[in-house]
């Protein structure tokens, strides 16, 4: 698969996570979903990571905000660690 296709798939997954958590009081388990976003980000090339960094930062911040009442501590921690990782230069 091409780098552009990888970035598109990653963006779709990350954006869907953000949208899924928007204004929800209760959600089904999301561990696999969060894990997929983490894994896909980590598999991107450094150039692709640099290209998506700013957008992903916003997505993860909003997911943490929207999911504040519904995400458990483990998933909040995973997303917070991903946010830290995204903010570091590659």
- Mapped onto helix, strand or coil, the DSSP state of residue 64 is helix
pTM over 0.85: no
What's the pLDDT tens digit per position in 33-73? Answer: 788 889 988 998 898 888 888 888 888 898 898 888 778 89
Of 8, 76, 72, the residue nearest 40 (C-alpha): 8
Domain positions in the chain: 3-87
Q: Which pLDDT score, from 0 to 100, does residue 27 have?
A: 62
Mean pLDDT rounded to a whole number for the chain: 83
- Helix, strand and coil content of the chain, in percent to the nearest 5, comes to 75, 0, 25
pLDDT of 4: 80
Q: Contact 62/19 with Cβ under 8 angstroms?
A: no
> What residue has token string 């993860």?
60
- Residue 85 has a pLDDT of 94
Confidence bin at 84 (pLDDT 50/70/90) = very high
């Amino acid at each position: 698969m091409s780098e552009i296709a990888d970035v598109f798939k990653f963006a779709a997954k990350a954006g869907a996570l953000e949208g899924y958590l928007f204004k929800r009081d209760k959600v089904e388990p999301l561990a696999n979903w969060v894990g997929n976003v983490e894994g896909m980000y980590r598999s991107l090339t450094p150039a692709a990571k640099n290209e998506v960094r700013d957008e992903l930062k916003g997505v993860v911040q909003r997911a943490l905000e929207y999911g504040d009442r519904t995400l458990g501590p483990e998933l909040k921690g995973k997303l917070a660690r991903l946010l830290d990782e995204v903010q570091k230069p590659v």
